[in-house]
Amino acid sequence: MQVAQPVVGVLALQGAFAAHELALAEAGARPTQVRTPADLARVDALVMPGGESTTMSKLLETSGLFDEIKARLSEGMPVFGTCAGMILLATDVRDGRPDQRSFGAIDIAVQRNGYGRQVDSFETDIHVEGEDVPFHAVFIRAPKVVSVGPAVEVLAVHEDVPVLACQGAVMVASFHPELAGDARLHHRFLHHHLRRG
Ligand code: GLN
């Protein structure tokens, strides 16, 4: 897909969606909030923000968005999931609620709140594949990646644990890239993944 100024939806059911809109605009996209299937129909790509994945899972069902997003993902819609958004896209969610659903769009196992209570929020600079300047990563009760499948490309690690990865048109981060005041990862999503989609 080659779109001059792609319309990129930000799932706005709950959580940290406003800062994503700013970062997407800075990266050259036209951001729009997605709350309904009609909103989804207008977008070229989607960002799933941080927040509470259990709540988002519920709201995805009640809004009718779950099945619609699932269908778009199977058609190759590019998606960038951050923190809770990463959990929603994973194939395997550990320590989730029993009724919590995920899209299984990227072959990773994640443990919710996997960085533990002592350091449930922290910030650190990480090296991202292909970038010369480190990226300031903000982790907030972040999921920890516990395994990745062979089709997954790891783009950054923190203490040997993958924190940024992609598979086809799906990109995920366990941190909050929208809080860094640095739109490079949104730019990367638009320019690498949207074209592959
Ligand atoms: N711990 C949250 C969850 O399980 C994710 C935290 C976040 O998105 N900042 O959904």
CA of 140 to the centre of ligand 1 (A): 7
Distance CA 119, CA 43 (A): 36
Distance CA 88, CA 106 (A): 10
> What's the domain range around 167?
7-196
Tokens coding 29: 């996209």
Q: Is 140 in the pocket of ligand 1 (CB under 6 A)?
A: yes
Domain count, the chain: 1
Q: Is 94 in the pocket of ligand 1 (CB under 6 A)?
A: no
Out of 60, 141, 175, give the residue to mutate to test ligand 1, the one with the largest number of ligand atoms within 8 Å of its CB. Answer: 141
Distance CA 137, CA 74 (A): 30
Out of 68, 166, 178, 193, the active site residue is 178
Does 195 have pLDDT greater than 70? Answer: no
Q: Is residue 2 part of a domain?
A: no
CA of 4 to the centre of ligand 1 (A): 33
Distance CA 15, CA 63 (A): 16
pLDDT of residue 118: 62
Q: Is residue 109 part of a domain?
A: yes
Q: Is 113 in the pocket of ligand 1 (CB under 6 A)?
A: yes
Q: Is 53 in the pocket of ligand 1 (CB under 6 A)?
A: yes
Tell me if 109 sits within 8 A of 90, measured CB to CB: yes
CA of 168 to the centre of ligand 1 (A): 24
Annotation marks residue 178 as catalytic: yes
| In the chain, % of residues over pLDDT 70 | 95
Does 64 have pLDDT greater than 70? Answer: yes
Q: Is 87 in the pocket of ligand 1 (CB under 6 A)?
A: yes
Of the candidates 47, 25, 49, 77, the one whose C-alpha atom is nearest the C-alpha of residue 183 is 25
Tokens coding 21: 């809109």
Distance CA 67, CA 65 (A): 6
The model's pTM is 0.95
Out of 83, 166, 186, 193, the active site residue is 83
Residue 50's identity, in one-letter code, is G
Q: What is the pLDDT of residues 24-39, one digit of tens each?
A: 999 999 999 999 999 9
What's the burial of 54, exposed, middle or buried (CB within 10 Å: 0-12/13-18/19+)?
Answer: middle
Q: Is residue 65 part of a domain?
A: yes
Tokens coding 150: 């062979």
Q: What is the pLDDT of residues 113-152, one digit of tens each?
A: 999 876 789 999 999 999 999 999 999 999 999 999 999 9
Q: CATH number, domain at 178? A: 3.40.50.880
How, if at all, do strands 45-48 and 79-82 pair?
parallel
